[in-house]
């Protein structure tokens, strides 16, 4: 008489034999939405399964880093950071993991979802031999003294070593535009995480991210592969199929998987990508979706983004933004002032002036210029709180009735702040009223960050940041 094998045992065995099957089986333990099984999910699962099984056998790895570049919303974190370590424990509960992302809050959220899988009734039923030693979400430990250790960019990882390291988005989109934060992230990936291998011959480090800058961690590791012989396996899946002569799909045979030029025609269809392009702007979209990061040194702003219009603006409530300088010396940036009004969530800049003035003359210039440009009791003058800005606000509050206040103190560097408003400028939300000042303003803005002076950019950033409402798109895909 043939022995009947319990259904759970059959499913468990299928899970062990196929990481892709495991993903499909355990998807509902962390996500309620019906999944869309696009081709890239099975492909990534199969690639990861090869790594997991090789580590199980403690075989030498042919590469030091496995880099995966895919667009946002492609389920990369669900597959790689959450489910993959749990599958590896199903086939080899002795494997240890270090898992991290750019912020502790993000890393802990991924760890919490991994914990839900680990302690689920289904997982315990299928793989009882894995055992539970600790279910603290930041340090899951199974019954074989293996762990999924949670960390974040910049953190020390003292005393922890892993068979596999998973770095999931080591930089935020804003941090990537800051040279200091980008360098810190690169050093953490290249030095801290790389030094935490159990066995340098066997252990594998996995980096998964969308591209954010030419010198982001992916760019840094690929350059080391080219110049220093670092062993890297690279999978790159842009949202849209590029022209053959500009190919950035790796491996190249994955081009055949695209449908009508799209890697995911359901979750990342043409309408979704158009919305994301408008939301992120050219720079953001080029990196996060095309996996071809633009070099910000080539110019954050483009001339054709700033439409020059003839628009009636008498009687409009004018506002004023100032970027002040200390002295009248020619080598210093001048004080810049932009006059503008807002209509239909669009900024109309009516005037731009820049002067090098000592403090007494600066006070008089502000009073005169604002009056000549339509200041009323409903107007507001904002001043960036640097250089002579604080003193200017104090002086004019004390001796005039002008509505004047300080802007928020900038927290990021100039290039990062400029990048955060570029999408709104590209979308045509900043227009210039025709005037003799137009060319000087556009030239200074569009040559940033290579321009000698940048007060026009400082003023533009503060105007857009303060006046244009945040826009969000429906989350069409998770």
Residues 287/212, Cβ–Cβ less than 8 Å: yes
* For residues 85-92, average pLDDT: 98
Q: Which residue has the tokens 């849209």?
A: 240
Helix, strand, coil fractions of the chain, as percent rounded to 5: 45, 15, 40
Position 337 scores a pLDDT of: 96
Q: What is the pLDDT of residues 163-201, one digit of tens each?
A: 999 999 999 988 887 888 999 999 999 999 999 999 999
Query: Does residue 469 carry a pLDDT above 80?
Result: no
In which residue are the tokens 């695209």 written?
A: 258
Domains of the chain, earliest start first: 7-294 (3.40.50.300), 303-467 (3.30.420.240)
Residues 334-348: tens digit of each pLDDT:
899 999 999 999 999
Task: State the Cα–Cα distance between residues 190 and 173, nearest whole angstrom.
Answer: 19
Element (H, E) at 236: strand 232-236
CA distances from 132 to 40, 59, 124 (A): 32, 27, 9
List the structure tokens of 329.
Answer: 């010396």
C-alpha–C-alpha distance, residues 80 and 101, integer Å: 12
Query: How far is the CA of 86 from the CAs of 49, 90, 114, 154, in angstroms?
Result: 12, 6, 7, 25
CB-based contacts of 129-136 (< 8 A; 24+ apart in sequence)? 129/93, 130/89, 130/90, 130/93, 131/93
Determine the Cα–Cα distance for residues 448 and 474; give it in Å rounded to an integer.
Answer: 33
Number of neighbouring beta carbons within 10 Å of residue 382: 24
Q: How confident is the model at residue 280 (pLDDT cuts 50, 70, 90)?
A: confident
Cα 212-213-215 angle, rounded to 5 deg = 135
Q: What is the DSSP letter of 290?
A: T
Most confident among 154-158, 244-248, 439-443 (mean pLDDT): 154-158
CA distance 155 to 315: 55
Distances (CA, A) of 272 to 258, 275, 325: 16, 5, 44
Q: What is the dihedral of CA 470, 474, 475, 477, to 10 degrees?
A: -140
pLDDT 10s digits, 101-133: 999 999 999 999 999 999 999 999 999 999 999
| Whether the predicted pLDDT of 99 surpasses 70 | yes
Rg of the chain (C-alpha set): 27
This prediction's pTM: 0.76
């Amino acid at each position: 008489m043939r022995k009947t094998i319990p259904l759970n045992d059959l499913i468990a065995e299928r899970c062990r034999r196929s990481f892709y099957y495991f993903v499909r089986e355990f998807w509902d333990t962390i996500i309620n939405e019906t999944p869309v099984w696009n081709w890239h999910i099975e492909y990534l699962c199969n690639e990861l399964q090869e790594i997991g099984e090789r580590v199980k056998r403690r075989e030498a790895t042919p590469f030091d880093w496995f880099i995966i570049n895919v667009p946002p919303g492609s389920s990369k974190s669900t597959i790689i950071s959450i489910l993959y370590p749990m599958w590896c424990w199903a086939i080899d509960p002795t494997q240890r993991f270090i898992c991290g992302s750019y912020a502790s809050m993000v890393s802990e959220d991924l760890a919490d979802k991994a914990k839900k899988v680990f302690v689920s009734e289904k997982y315990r039923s299928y793989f009882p031999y894995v055992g539970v030693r600790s279910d603290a979400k930041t340090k899951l430990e199974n019954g074989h003294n293996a762990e999924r250790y949670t960390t974040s960019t910049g953190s020390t990882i003292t005393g922890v070593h892993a068979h596999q390291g998973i770095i999931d988005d080591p930089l935020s989109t804003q941090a990537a535009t800051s040279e200091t934060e980008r360098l810190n992230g690169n050093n953490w990936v290249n030095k801290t995480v790389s030094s935490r291998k159990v066995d340098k011959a066997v252990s594998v480090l996995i980096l998964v991210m969308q591209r954010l800058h030419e010198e982001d961690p992916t760019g840094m590791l690929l350059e080391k592969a080219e110049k220093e012989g670092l062993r890297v396996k690279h999978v790159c899946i842009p949202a849209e199929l590029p022209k053959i002569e500009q190919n950035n799909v790796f491996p190249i045979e994955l081009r055949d998987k695209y449908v009508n030029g799209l890697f995911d025609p359901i979750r990342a269809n043409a309408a979704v990508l158009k919305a994301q392009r408008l939301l992120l702007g050219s720079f953001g979209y080029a990196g996060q979706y095309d996996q071809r990061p633009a070099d910000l040194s080539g110019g954050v702003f483009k001339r054709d983004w700033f439409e020059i219009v003839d628009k009636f603006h008498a009687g409009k409530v004018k506002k004023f933004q100032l970027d002040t300088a200390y002295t009248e010396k020619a080598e210093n940036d001048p004080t810049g002032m932009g006059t503008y009004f807002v209509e239909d969530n669009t900024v109309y800049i009516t005037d731009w002036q820049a002067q090098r003035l000592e403090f007494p003359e600066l006070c008089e210039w502000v009073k005169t210029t604002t009056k000549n440009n339509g200041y009323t009791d409903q107007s507001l003058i904002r001043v960036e709180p640097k250089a002579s800005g604080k003193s200017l606000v104090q002086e004019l509050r004390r001796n005039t009735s002008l509505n004047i206040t300080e802007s928020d103190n900038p927290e990021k560097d100039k290039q990062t702040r400029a990048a955060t408003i570029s999408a709104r400028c590209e979308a045509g939300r900043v227009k210039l009223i025709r005037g003799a000042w137009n060319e000087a303003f556009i030239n200074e803005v569009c040559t940033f960050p290579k321009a000698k002076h940048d007060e026009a950019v400082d003023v533009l950033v503060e105007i857009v940041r303060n006046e244009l409402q945040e826009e969000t798109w429906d989350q069409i895909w998770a």
